[in-house]
Amino acid sequence: MASDPTHQFEIHKLFSLGHIGGQEIAFTNSSAYMLAAVGVVSLLMLGGSAGKQLIPSRFQSLAELSYEFIADTVRSNAGEQGMKFFPLVFTLFMFIITANMIGIIPYTFTVTSHLIVTLSLALIVFITMIVYGFYKNGLKFFRLFVPSGIPIYILPLIVFIEVLSFFSRPISHSVRLFANILAGHITLKVFAGLVTMVGAMGFVGWIGAIIPLGLTVALTALEVLVAFLQAYVFAILTCIYLNDAIHPGH
Amino acid sequence: MGLIITPAQAATTTTTSTEASHAKGGFPPFQTDTFASQLVSFAIAFVLLYWIVSKLALPRVGGIIAARQGAIDGDLAEAQRLKNESDAALKAYETELATARANAQAIGSEIRDKLTKQADLERKQLEDRLAAKLADADKSIATTRAAAMGNVRSIATEAAAAIVHRLSGVTADVQAVKSAIDTTLKA
């Protein structure tokens, strides 16, 4: 049954790559779409910059626009020092937005609809933040948990909240992306399924199917917005978290 | 979100259990047996993309943007240089004009001064000459007058002597008449 809304998230093994500790490592449909995203981003950035024109072509404009968009985001959220993380933020943003956009195409698989992937993305940021924070600031990195100008009697509570919010960062960071993409795709699938279900009821059904069909089209447009917005939100949060690692004092 | 989805999913698995038999049940994003495969392929894909982006793509695109910025800055600097040049030329022209104007004024006033001085000199000479002539004329007038006055006296003396002689028949003393005449003339 194609109308099962979770069918689109299933992982299929395409071929086996070997075993690690008794666990089979397979090349799956997810792997293929990850590599497809890598290919699309590489094509955009390398193909777009191949001409090296002073007056850019449309293709080159696209590559430059992506570059400057993320560069501005990093610069305005993490400062000039944050620019050392520009390749990381750029990779994250481009990978997510490309995976999201590919996923909107019917019959494709959406890499970012799997929590394990979004959690990996969030953990890359989280671990980078911690490692760089301690490397750059040493023990002063703990000042992140102690906002200045707080009266001493509520400080323990504030520190507790700060620590809690710090460790919930990778969770909210990853679940936000995962849940948005997952929910959007399920909604799309449900409404698209309604088109075939209602349409199967003869002539009256065809008329009735116009409503879910229109909704599906509108939702697809919304999903394009969500695909961009979630990638952008992920990138901005990455910049904010990395900024905390660069400047731990509030 | 997963919690909201699970009931719907649970309802559908019952109908699609035959098709999803290989998936070992459960909501696909929470099927832990797929995690290792996904993690490995994600690691490969991400490292590959990071390498391509950081080593190839970003330096190249950044280079293009920097080259364009450089070209724009160069052109702007060139335009600024040309503008400065034209400004300098304008300033030089204005300075030159001011100098020429000042020179012209200086020459004009110099000539005016010279002419005034010359005119003054000539007038003075003329005045001196006229004064000399005036003095000469005054002198000749005085001489003539003195001569005339001398004549007047002798005439008066003779006339007075004659009058006295005619009136009294006495020949008047010439010396007395002369002194009387002098007294009268002086009065």
Does the pLDDT value for residue B21 go beyond 50?
A: no
Predicted pLDDT at B171: 78
Predicted pLDDT at B111: 96
For residue A91, is it within any domain?
yes
Give the count of domains, chain A. 1
Predicted pLDDT at A3: 63
Grouping H, G, I as helix, E, B as strand and the rest as coil, residue B173 is coil
Predicted confidence band of residue B181 (pLDDT cuts 50, 70, 90): confident
**Spatial CB neighbours of B180, under 8 Å, sequence gap ≥ 6:** B160
Predicted confidence band of residue B3 (pLDDT cuts 50, 70, 90): very low
Mean pLDDT, to the nearest integer, of A36-64? 90
**Spatial CB neighbours of B159, under 8 Å, sequence gap ≥ 6:** none
Minimal-distance CA residue of chain B relative to A52: B64
For residue A1, is it within any domain?
no
Chain B residues with CB inside 8 Å of A40's CB?
none
Does the pLDDT value for residue B5 go beyond 80?
A: no
Name residues 163-222 of chain A within 8 A of B (Cβ).
Answer: 175, 178-179, 182-183, 186
Residue among A49, A115, A121 minimizing CB distance to B61: A49
Mean pLDDT, to the nearest integer, of B70-74? 94
Predicted pLDDT at B129: 94
**Spatial CB neighbours of B56, under 8 Å, sequence gap ≥ 6:** A45, A46
State in Å, rounded, how far the first CA of chain A is from the last one. Answer: 54
Give per-residue pLDDT as tens, A205-223: 888 888 889 999 999 999 9
Predicted confidence band of residue A176 (pLDDT cuts 50, 70, 90): very high
Predicted pLDDT at B10: 43
Chain A residues with CB inside 8 Å of B44's CB?
31, 34
User: What is the distance between the alpha carbons of residues A71 and B66, in angstroms, rounded to a whole number?
Assistant: 13
For residue A224, is it within any domain?
yes
Name residues 26-45 of chain B within 8 A of A (Cβ).
Answer: 27-31, 33-45
Mean pLDDT, to the nearest integer, of B13-19? 41
Does the pLDDT value for residue A155 go beyond 70?
A: yes
Does the pLDDT value for residue A111 go beyond 70?
A: yes
pLDDT, mean over chain B: 84
Residue A100, classified by CB atoms within 10 Å of its CB into exposed (0-12), middle (13-18) or buried (19+), is buried
User: What is the distance between the alpha carbons of residues B80 and A31, in angstroms, rounded to a whole number?
Assistant: 55
For residue A2, is it within any domain?
no
Residue among A25, A64, A120 minimizing CB distance to B36: A25
Mean pLDDT, to the nearest integer, of A24-41? 92
**Domain coordinates in residue numbering, chain B:** 35-180
pLDDT, mean over chain A: 90
Q: A106: which 2 tokens?
A: 């019917």
Residue among B1, B33, B46 minimizing CB distance to A182: B1
**Spatial CB neighbours of A102, under 8 Å, sequence gap ≥ 6:** A33, A36, A37, A40, A108, A110, A111
Predicted pLDDT at A33: 94
Predicted pLDDT at B67: 92
Query: By mean pLDDT, which of A79-88, B22-31, B93-102 is the weakest?
Result: B22-31
Query: By mean pLDDT, which of A13-17, A111-115, A132-136, B59-63 is the weakest?
Result: A13-17
User: What is the distance between the alpha carbons of residues B9 and A98, in angstroms, rounded to a whole number?
Assistant: 27
Q: What percent of chain B has pLDDT over 90?
A: 57
Q: How many Å lie between the alpha carbon of B86 and the closest alpha carbon of chain A?
A: 29
- Closest C-alpha among A196, A245, A240 to residue A78: A240
> Domain residues for A129?
7-246
What are the E-state strand segments in A9-143?
A: 13-20, 23-28
Predicted pLDDT at B25: 62
Angle at CA of residue B129, ends B128 and B130, nearest 5°: 90
